[in-house]
Chain A
Amino acid sequence: MALLEIQGVSRSFGGLKAVIDFDLTIDQGEIVGLVGPNGAGKSTLFNLITGVYPPDSGEIIFDGENIVRHKPHEICRKRIGRCFQVVKPFADMSVLENAMVGAFCLVESPDEAKRKALEVLQFVKLDQKRETPAKNLTIADKKRLEMARALATDPKLLLLDEVMAGLNPKETEEAIELIREVRDHNVTLFIIEHVMRVIMTLPDRISIIHYGRKIAEGVPSVVAKDEKVIKAYLGETYDFTATQ
């Protein structure tokens, strides 16, 4: 069943066409990757889904409802969670308080929010550091915290924007593990990623975006051999036949 349907979405900034007529359907329980060179429009697409700005044209249907022109906080309450490319922890608040802000999306009572927050912190293995101020965490832990915070809002769909960037191989391995566990908890994932090892192993499907257009979509191992994709990454003059 389709959970998210992006239909012909476009968005320009002044003369720059950041996303052009983009289509994508994500089914319940999938992990879908969004891949493309820098400036291809990946984060713009995430911003369009989460209502940071509206698309110029096109529809975004989530769970059977058109969510175009809803505000970011409303989108969250429709249960789309999001982690940012540049981590945005609430620096002066403790790890627990950070997660509680997410949990308050569902409950009003601080006690219940605390219970829910501790649950997700345990899930991402940050419960030992619950009293630490968020600004004192390592980058890997900040990313975990961001994930915990988003999970505390109980999303059906979670958007992850380059959560592996800046992690060492061991931390990357742990993050992949964590994302698989998230999926096992009935959360559908839409991820932007640059780390090759992640792109090739984690997603069920990937969609390649280049200059705002989708140029390929499918199983990672197949898409990686696509001529247009290789050209997008390595340049038009790359002799494709030489590697065959």
Chain B
Amino acid sequence: MMNAQNIPFDMRQWRSPRFYIPLILIGILFMIPLVIYDPIFLHLMILIFFYAYLTISWNVVGGFAGQLSLGHTAFTGIGAYTSTLLFIQLGVTPWIGMFIGGILAAIAAITIGYPCFKLRGAYFALATIGFVETLRIAIESTNEIFGIQFKGAMGMTLPLMGHSPLNFQFLSKAYYYYIILIMMLIALYITYRISKSRLGYYLFAIKNDLDAAQSLGVDVSRCRLKAAALSAFLTGLGGTFYAQLVLFIDPAGIIGLYLSFEIAFIAIIGGRGTLLGPVLGSFLLIPVSELTRIYLGGTYFGVHLVVFGGVLMLVMLFLPRGINDPIIHAYYRVIERLEKGSVKTEVDHGTS
């Protein structure tokens, strides 16, 4: 069975728990900033959604198409640098810069994907590492080219505008919270639609058996390039969000391999190729990574990475396909119990 097909949400059943339980969960996420004002907590939630968003975008290539990309931070980098440069040099609002960055990321993905998708397995992953590292080093060593100030390894600070919604800058974390939450939900919806479409079926088929897929009329490179362009576009938007959240970008932070590995870890632990795996993986890993960094990072340098690795090993040992499947199963059990309950009450009404 296709995992991505297996989603716990059915829009046709208005009165069923399948419909209202997900809505309640989403509703709770929307209520949080109204109840909790603690900026540290909100920042943690923002990071969870941000990483979930990046991983959902990554999942189109890394999960659905089954191509382990470690180069996706090239696209966050392209997104962040495009919108930031447009803002600093030309005064273009990052809201517009964001989409220009996304489109440039998609173009980059098609250009680099065309030769890379001919490689299989580990060679593909290596090629993507080569791509992202080349881009990082290029930007790190470029201070200025054609009058565009890249500022090399120093990075760029966005000019502070105070509370300025038009320029994608807010003083309260709550705004960022809502923006990234909505971006995450939209990305989830897009991947859901892909998994139900011809492209989704084709990507799963290619992942299962490339030769058989071709013999059934599947244009493998076209499908993969479509997936890569979409995935890179979404990832590029995420890059701009990050730039606006932190108001500072540098090559090591936004393009580095480190971020690429984090995305891949979240996807693998959550469940590669599943619809909700990226979200679940992010909810598990980001708190672990952030809390250990806050409480242990200062005293024992690098301990949070050890904890991160420990969690990864435990999940890989006991749940090689990720935490998505057991959680979704448990969720369904709850739903079914609720459904039985509601059927029973309806019967009671009928007889009384």
Contacts and interface: CB of A to CB of B under 8 A. Distances in A.
A36 interface: no
A118 interface: no
B147 interface: no
Contacts of A152: 216
Range for the number of chain B residues in contact with chain A:
20 to 34
B35 interface: no
Given A73-B219, A101-B205, A102-B216, A94 B1 contact: yes
Contact of B211 (A88, A97, A100): A88
A73 B201 CA distance: 15
A104 B215 contact: no
Contact of A101 (B196, B197, B201, B219): B201
Interface string B218-254: 1110000000000000000000000000000000000
Contacts of A105: 216-217
A77 interface: yes
A97 B217 contact: no
Contacts of B205: 90, 93, 101
B216 A150 contact: yes
A181 interface: no
Contacts of B2: 92-94, 97
Contacts of A72: 211, 214-215
Interface in B1-49: 1-2, 5
Main secondary structure of the interface of B (DSSP, over half): helix
Interface residues of A, number: 33
A50 interface: yes
A77 B217 CA distance: 6
A110 interface: yes
A155 to B, nearest CB: 10
Contacts of B219: 71, 73
Contact of A153 (B197, B211, B217): B217
A153 B209 contact: no
Contacts of B204: 90, 92-93, 97
B265 interface: no
Contact of B197 (A88, A110, A131): A110
B209 A90 contact: yes
B208 interface: yes
Contacts of A93: 1-2, 204-205, 208
Given A101-B202, A104-B201, A84 B216 contact: no
A139 interface: no
A113 B217 CA distance: 14
Contacts of B196: 110
21 contacts: A50-B215, A71-B214, A72-B215, A77-B217, A82-B215, A84-B212, A88-B209, A89-B209, A89-B212, A90-B205, A90-B209, A92-B208, A93-B2, A93-B208, A94-B1, A101-B218, A105-B217, A110-B198, A133-B1, A149-B212, A153-B216
Interface of A: 50, 52, 71-73, 76-77, 81-82, 84, 88-94, 97, 100-102, 104-105, 108, 110, 113, 131, 133, 146, 149-150, 152-153
Nearest first, the 10 A-B pairs at minimum CB distance are A105-B217, A76-B217, A90-B208, A88-B212, A72-B214, A101-B205, A88-B209, A82-B215, A104-B198, A73-B219
Interface of B: 1-2, 5, 196-198, 201-202, 204-205, 208-209, 211-220
